[in-house]
A and B are shown apart, each in its own frame.
Chain A
Amino acid sequence: MVLPSHPSVKPAPEQEPVVPRVVVDVMPKPEILDPQGKAVLGALPRLGFVGVTDVRQGKRFELEFAGEITDAVLAEVHEMAETLLSNPVIEYYTVHLAEAEQPA
Protein backbone atom coordinates (compact mmCIF):
# COMPACT_ATOMS: atom_id res chain seq x y z
CA MET A 1 0.00 0.00 0.00
CA VAL A 2 1.45 3.35 -1.04
CA LEU A 3 -0.04 6.46 0.49
CA PRO A 4 0.34 9.78 -1.30
CA SER A 5 2.40 12.37 0.56
CA HIS A 6 0.48 14.94 2.50
CA PRO A 7 0.52 18.22 0.52
CA SER A 8 2.20 20.03 3.44
CA VAL A 9 5.16 17.62 3.35
CA LYS A 10 8.02 19.25 1.47
CA PRO A 11 10.40 17.01 -0.45
CA ALA A 12 13.75 16.48 1.26
CA PRO A 13 16.57 18.72 -0.01
CA GLU A 14 18.66 17.12 -2.72
CA GLN A 15 21.90 16.88 -0.79
CA GLU A 16 22.37 17.55 2.93
CA PRO A 17 25.88 18.56 3.94
CA VAL A 18 27.57 15.41 5.21
CA VAL A 19 28.06 15.37 8.96
CA PRO A 20 30.18 12.50 10.27
CA ARG A 21 27.63 10.34 12.02
CA VAL A 22 27.66 7.01 13.79
CA VAL A 23 24.45 5.08 14.36
CA VAL A 24 23.91 2.83 17.36
CA ASP A 25 20.87 0.57 17.23
CA VAL A 26 19.77 -0.96 20.52
CA MET A 27 17.32 -3.86 20.58
CA PRO A 28 15.80 -5.99 23.33
CA LYS A 29 17.49 -9.41 23.38
CA PRO A 30 15.41 -12.09 21.63
CA GLU A 31 14.66 -13.88 24.89
CA ILE A 32 13.46 -10.70 26.62
CA LEU A 33 9.75 -9.94 26.45
CA ASP A 34 9.05 -6.74 24.49
CA PRO A 35 5.61 -5.46 25.58
CA GLN A 36 5.89 -2.33 23.38
CA GLY A 37 6.57 -4.42 20.27
CA LYS A 38 3.62 -6.64 21.23
CA ALA A 39 1.36 -3.57 21.49
CA VAL A 40 2.40 -2.42 18.01
CA LEU A 41 1.90 -5.94 16.65
CA GLY A 42 -1.59 -5.94 18.11
CA ALA A 43 -2.43 -2.56 16.54
CA LEU A 44 -1.35 -3.38 12.97
CA PRO A 45 -4.20 -5.77 12.05
CA ARG A 46 -6.71 -3.32 13.50
CA LEU A 47 -5.45 -0.82 10.90
CA GLY A 48 -5.74 -3.33 8.11
CA PHE A 49 -2.05 -4.25 7.92
CA VAL A 50 -1.98 -8.02 7.83
CA GLY A 51 0.89 -10.45 7.47
CA VAL A 52 3.24 -9.09 10.16
CA THR A 53 4.05 -11.98 12.48
CA ASP A 54 6.25 -10.20 15.04
CA VAL A 55 7.42 -6.71 16.00
CA ARG A 56 10.42 -5.88 18.17
CA GLN A 57 10.83 -2.25 19.21
CA GLY A 58 14.25 -0.80 19.87
CA LYS A 59 16.09 2.51 19.99
CA ARG A 60 18.28 4.26 17.46
CA PHE A 61 20.96 6.75 18.47
CA GLU A 62 22.59 9.02 15.88
CA LEU A 63 25.87 10.41 17.15
CA GLU A 64 27.42 13.33 15.30
CA PHE A 65 31.12 14.12 15.47
CA ALA A 66 33.07 17.24 14.61
CA GLY A 67 35.95 15.38 12.99
CA GLU A 68 36.72 12.23 11.09
CA ILE A 69 35.39 8.97 12.48
CA THR A 70 38.47 6.93 13.20
CA ASP A 71 38.82 3.47 14.71
CA ALA A 72 39.50 5.17 18.05
CA VAL A 73 36.18 7.06 17.79
CA LEU A 74 34.37 3.83 16.95
CA ALA A 75 35.98 2.09 19.90
CA GLU A 76 34.70 4.89 22.09
CA VAL A 77 31.20 4.53 20.62
CA HIS A 78 31.25 0.85 21.59
CA GLU A 79 32.18 1.88 25.11
CA MET A 80 29.29 4.39 25.19
CA ALA A 81 26.93 1.71 23.91
CA GLU A 82 28.02 -0.76 26.58
CA THR A 83 27.98 1.65 29.52
CA LEU A 84 25.05 3.94 28.82
CA LEU A 85 23.14 3.53 25.55
CA SER A 86 22.27 -0.12 26.17
CA ASN A 87 21.82 -2.34 29.20
CA PRO A 88 23.68 -5.54 28.26
CA VAL A 89 21.50 -7.54 30.67
CA ILE A 90 18.43 -7.07 28.47
CA GLU A 91 19.62 -5.44 25.23
CA TYR A 92 22.15 -5.84 22.43
CA TYR A 93 23.47 -3.15 20.15
CA THR A 94 25.02 -2.70 16.72
CA VAL A 95 27.19 0.17 15.49
CA HIS A 96 27.49 1.42 11.92
CA LEU A 97 28.47 4.51 9.98
CA ALA A 98 25.54 6.56 8.67
CA GLU A 99 27.18 7.22 5.27
CA ALA A 100 26.92 3.56 4.39
CA GLU A 101 23.15 3.71 4.58
CA GLN A 102 21.02 3.61 1.45
CA PRO A 103 17.49 5.04 1.55
CA ALA A 104 14.86 2.31 1.44
Chain B
Amino acid sequence: MKVGVVTFPGSLDDVDAQRAVGFGGHEAVALWHGDHDLRGVDAIILPGGFSYGDYLRCGALSRFSPVMTEVIAAAERGMPVLGICNGFQVLCESHLLPGALIRNDHRKFVCRDQRLRIENNRTPWTSAYAEGAEVTIVLKNGEGGFVADEATLDRLEGEGQVLARYLGDNPNGSLRDIAGITNARGNVVGLMPHPEHAVEDLTGAGTDGLGFFTSLVEGSFA
Protein backbone atom coordinates (compact mmCIF):
# COMPACT_ATOMS: atom_id res chain seq x y z
CA MET B 1 0.00 0.00 0.00
CA LYS B 2 1.03 3.61 -0.50
CA VAL B 3 1.19 5.41 2.83
CA GLY B 4 1.45 9.19 2.79
CA VAL B 5 3.48 10.86 5.53
CA VAL B 6 2.72 14.56 5.89
CA THR B 7 5.57 16.96 6.59
CA PHE B 8 4.54 20.22 8.25
CA PRO B 9 7.01 23.00 8.97
CA GLY B 10 8.37 21.82 12.32
CA SER B 11 7.65 18.09 11.87
CA LEU B 12 10.46 16.01 13.39
CA ASP B 13 9.58 12.37 12.95
CA ASP B 14 8.38 12.33 9.36
CA VAL B 15 11.50 10.56 8.07
CA ASP B 16 11.39 7.97 10.85
CA ALA B 17 7.72 7.39 10.00
CA GLN B 18 8.57 6.94 6.31
CA ARG B 19 11.27 4.44 7.26
CA ALA B 20 8.87 2.56 9.54
CA VAL B 21 6.32 2.38 6.70
CA GLY B 22 9.01 0.65 4.62
CA PHE B 23 9.78 -1.76 7.48
CA GLY B 24 6.07 -2.55 7.54
CA GLY B 25 6.21 -3.62 3.90
CA HIS B 26 4.58 -0.55 2.38
CA GLU B 27 5.66 2.33 0.17
CA ALA B 28 6.04 5.70 1.90
CA VAL B 29 4.95 8.78 -0.03
CA ALA B 30 6.10 12.18 1.21
CA LEU B 31 3.25 14.71 1.42
CA TRP B 32 3.82 18.42 2.01
CA HIS B 33 1.57 20.56 4.21
CA GLY B 34 0.99 22.93 1.30
CA ASP B 35 -0.18 20.15 -1.04
CA HIS B 36 -3.76 20.08 -2.23
CA ASP B 37 -3.74 16.43 -3.27
CA LEU B 38 -2.85 13.18 -1.56
CA ARG B 39 -0.89 11.67 -4.50
CA GLY B 40 -3.04 8.55 -4.65
CA VAL B 41 -2.12 7.22 -1.21
CA ASP B 42 -4.14 4.51 0.55
CA ALA B 43 -3.43 5.64 4.10
CA ILE B 44 -1.95 8.66 5.86
CA ILE B 45 0.35 9.27 8.81
CA LEU B 46 0.60 12.63 10.58
CA PRO B 47 3.99 12.44 12.30
CA GLY B 48 5.36 13.80 15.55
CA GLY B 49 7.17 17.07 16.07
CA PHE B 50 6.29 20.69 16.66
CA SER B 51 4.34 21.67 13.57
CA TYR B 52 4.06 25.43 13.10
CA GLY B 53 6.20 25.75 16.23
CA ASP B 54 3.23 24.66 18.38
CA TYR B 55 2.11 28.30 18.05
CA LEU B 56 -1.35 29.13 19.42
CA ARG B 57 -2.00 25.51 20.50
CA CYS B 58 -0.32 22.26 19.44
CA GLY B 59 -1.82 21.29 16.09
CA ALA B 60 -4.11 24.32 15.88
CA LEU B 61 -2.45 25.94 12.87
CA SER B 62 -1.56 22.66 11.12
CA ARG B 63 -5.24 21.78 11.15
CA PHE B 64 -5.85 24.61 8.67
CA SER B 65 -2.98 23.79 6.31
CA PRO B 66 -4.04 22.97 2.73
CA VAL B 67 -3.21 19.26 2.95
CA MET B 68 -5.42 18.85 6.02
CA THR B 69 -8.52 19.75 4.01
CA GLU B 70 -7.75 16.70 1.88
CA VAL B 71 -6.82 14.52 4.87
CA ILE B 72 -10.06 15.37 6.67
CA ALA B 73 -12.12 14.58 3.57
CA ALA B 74 -10.27 11.27 3.06
CA ALA B 75 -10.67 10.33 6.73
CA GLU B 76 -14.40 10.99 6.48
CA ARG B 77 -14.51 8.64 3.46
CA GLY B 78 -12.89 5.95 5.63
CA MET B 79 -9.19 6.18 4.70
CA PRO B 80 -6.93 4.93 7.50
CA VAL B 81 -5.24 7.90 9.22
CA LEU B 82 -2.71 7.59 12.06
CA GLY B 83 -1.64 10.64 14.06
CA ILE B 84 1.40 10.15 16.26
CA CYS B 85 2.06 12.61 19.10
CA ASN B 86 1.82 16.01 17.36
CA GLY B 87 -0.23 14.19 14.71
CA PHE B 88 -2.65 13.10 17.45
CA GLN B 89 -2.92 16.76 18.50
CA VAL B 90 -3.66 17.74 14.89
CA LEU B 91 -6.41 15.09 14.68
CA CYS B 92 -8.05 16.41 17.86
CA GLU B 93 -7.85 20.01 16.64
CA SER B 94 -9.39 18.82 13.35
CA HIS B 95 -12.28 17.26 15.30
CA LEU B 96 -11.55 13.92 13.63
CA LEU B 97 -10.99 12.65 17.17
CA PRO B 98 -12.71 13.84 20.36
CA GLY B 99 -10.94 15.47 23.29
CA ALA B 100 -7.73 17.47 23.42
CA LEU B 101 -4.13 17.17 24.61
CA ILE B 102 -2.84 19.57 27.23
CA ARG B 103 0.48 20.21 28.97
CA ASN B 104 1.76 17.32 31.08
CA ASP B 105 0.42 17.64 34.62
CA HIS B 106 3.96 17.55 36.07
CA ARG B 107 5.02 20.32 33.58
CA LYS B 108 8.13 18.49 32.43
CA PHE B 109 8.89 17.00 29.04
CA VAL B 110 8.79 13.22 29.31
CA CYS B 111 11.02 10.93 27.25
CA ARG B 112 11.09 7.27 28.14
CA ASP B 113 10.33 3.71 27.13
CA GLN B 114 6.67 3.33 28.00
CA ARG B 115 4.69 0.18 28.73
CA LEU B 116 1.29 0.17 27.03
CA ARG B 117 -1.66 -2.13 26.69
CA ILE B 118 -3.28 -2.37 23.26
CA GLU B 119 -6.99 -2.20 24.11
CA ASN B 120 -8.42 -2.22 20.59
CA ASN B 121 -6.93 -4.37 17.84
CA ARG B 122 -9.84 -3.88 15.44
CA THR B 123 -8.41 -0.85 13.66
CA PRO B 124 -6.35 -0.93 10.43
CA TRP B 125 -3.37 0.28 12.50
CA THR B 126 -3.54 -2.27 15.34
CA SER B 127 -4.82 -5.52 13.80
CA ALA B 128 -1.34 -7.08 14.06
CA TYR B 129 -1.55 -6.97 17.85
CA ALA B 130 -3.40 -9.36 20.12
CA GLU B 131 -6.11 -7.63 22.11
CA GLY B 132 -4.69 -6.77 25.51
CA ALA B 133 -1.11 -7.11 24.23
CA GLU B 134 1.42 -5.37 26.47
CA VAL B 135 4.11 -3.56 24.52
CA THR B 136 6.93 -1.08 25.13
CA ILE B 137 7.01 1.97 22.87
CA VAL B 138 8.94 5.24 23.16
CA LEU B 139 7.00 8.16 24.63
CA LYS B 140 8.26 11.75 24.32
CA ASN B 141 6.00 14.71 24.81
CA GLY B 142 5.47 17.97 26.64
CA GLU B 143 1.74 18.25 25.98
CA GLY B 144 0.47 14.69 26.08
CA GLY B 145 -2.24 14.86 28.70
CA PHE B 146 -5.43 13.57 27.07
CA VAL B 147 -8.54 15.33 28.36
CA ALA B 148 -12.23 15.16 27.49
CA ASP B 149 -15.42 15.62 29.46
CA GLU B 150 -16.75 12.70 31.48
CA ALA B 151 -19.50 11.88 29.00
CA THR B 152 -16.97 11.68 26.15
CA LEU B 153 -14.62 9.52 28.22
CA ASP B 154 -17.49 7.18 29.12
CA ARG B 155 -18.46 6.95 25.46
CA LEU B 156 -14.88 6.20 24.39
CA GLU B 157 -14.70 3.42 26.98
CA GLY B 158 -18.16 2.08 26.22
CA GLU B 159 -17.67 1.98 22.46
CA GLY B 160 -14.21 0.46 22.66
CA GLN B 161 -12.58 3.57 21.25
CA VAL B 162 -9.74 3.56 23.77
CA LEU B 163 -6.94 2.19 21.58
CA ALA B 164 -4.09 1.99 24.08
CA ARG B 165 -3.54 2.73 27.76
CA TYR B 166 -0.44 3.56 29.78
CA LEU B 167 0.70 0.86 32.19
CA GLY B 168 2.50 1.71 35.42
CA ASP B 169 2.84 5.36 36.43
CA ASN B 170 0.74 7.72 34.34
CA PRO B 171 3.42 9.66 32.43
CA ASN B 172 1.55 12.88 31.62
CA GLY B 173 -1.75 13.14 33.46
CA SER B 174 -3.87 11.64 30.68
CA LEU B 175 -7.36 10.97 31.97
CA ARG B 176 -8.07 7.26 32.49
CA ASP B 177 -4.47 6.51 31.44
CA ILE B 178 -5.42 6.97 27.79
CA ALA B 179 -2.45 6.79 25.41
CA GLY B 180 -4.42 6.52 22.17
CA ILE B 181 -7.96 6.57 20.84
CA THR B 182 -9.84 5.85 17.64
CA ASN B 183 -12.92 7.40 16.06
CA ALA B 184 -16.27 5.60 16.03
CA ARG B 185 -15.62 4.17 12.57
CA GLY B 186 -12.18 2.92 13.60
CA ASN B 187 -10.17 4.30 10.67
CA VAL B 188 -8.72 7.35 12.44
CA VAL B 189 -6.25 6.63 15.22
CA GLY B 190 -4.36 9.03 17.49
CA LEU B 191 -1.48 7.79 19.62
CA MET B 192 0.81 9.78 21.92
CA PRO B 193 3.72 7.26 22.02
CA HIS B 194 5.94 6.83 18.95
CA PRO B 195 5.76 3.38 17.33
CA GLU B 196 8.00 4.60 14.47
CA HIS B 197 10.86 4.78 16.98
CA ALA B 198 10.35 1.15 18.00
CA VAL B 199 10.79 -0.78 14.75
CA GLU B 200 14.37 -2.06 14.90
CA ASP B 201 16.63 -3.52 17.55
CA LEU B 202 19.57 -1.28 16.65
CA THR B 203 17.95 1.72 18.35
CA GLY B 204 15.44 2.07 21.12
CA ALA B 205 13.53 -0.43 23.09
CA GLY B 206 12.91 -3.18 20.58
CA THR B 207 10.41 -3.63 17.78
CA ASP B 208 7.05 -3.50 19.55
CA GLY B 209 5.97 -0.53 17.42
CA LEU B 210 6.27 -2.39 14.15
CA GLY B 211 2.70 -3.71 14.39
CA PHE B 212 1.32 -0.24 13.66
CA PHE B 213 2.97 -0.43 10.25
CA THR B 214 2.41 -4.11 9.44
CA SER B 215 -1.29 -3.99 10.37
CA LEU B 216 -2.25 -2.17 7.18
CA VAL B 217 -3.65 -4.64 4.69
CA GLU B 218 -5.02 -3.84 1.26
CA GLY B 219 -8.77 -3.32 1.39
CA SER B 220 -8.82 -3.99 5.11
CA PHE B 221 -10.87 -0.89 5.57
CA ALA B 222 -13.12 1.58 3.81
Contacts and interface: CB of A to CB of B under 8 A. Distances in A.
A87 B104 CA distance: 17
Interface in B46-72: 56-57, 60, 64
Given A84-B56, A84-B64, A89 B100 contact: yes
Interface size class of B (residues with CB under 8 A): 20 to 34
B92 A89 contact: yes
B145 A33 contact: yes
B102 A33 contact: yes
Contact of B60 (A33, A39, A84): A84
Nearest to B95: A89
A88 B56 CA distance: 14
A94 interface: no
A38 B107 contact: yes
Contacts of B100: 87, 89-90
Interface size class of A (residues with CB under 8 A): 10 to 19
Q: Interface majority SS on B: helix, strand, loop or mixed?
A: loop
Contact of A33 (B57, B64, B105, B148): B105
A35 B107 contact: yes
Residue of B57, B60, B93, B98 ringed by the most chain A CB atoms within 10 A: B57
Given A84-B56, A84-B64, A87-B60, A35 B104 contact: yes
B99 interface: yes
Nearest to A31: B149
A1 B126 CA distance: 59
Contact of B107 (A32, A39, A84, A87): A39
Interface string A19-42: 000000000100111011011000
A22 B99 CA distance: 29
B66 to A, nearest CB: 16
5 contacts: A32-B102, A33-B145, A35-B106, A89-B92, A89-B98
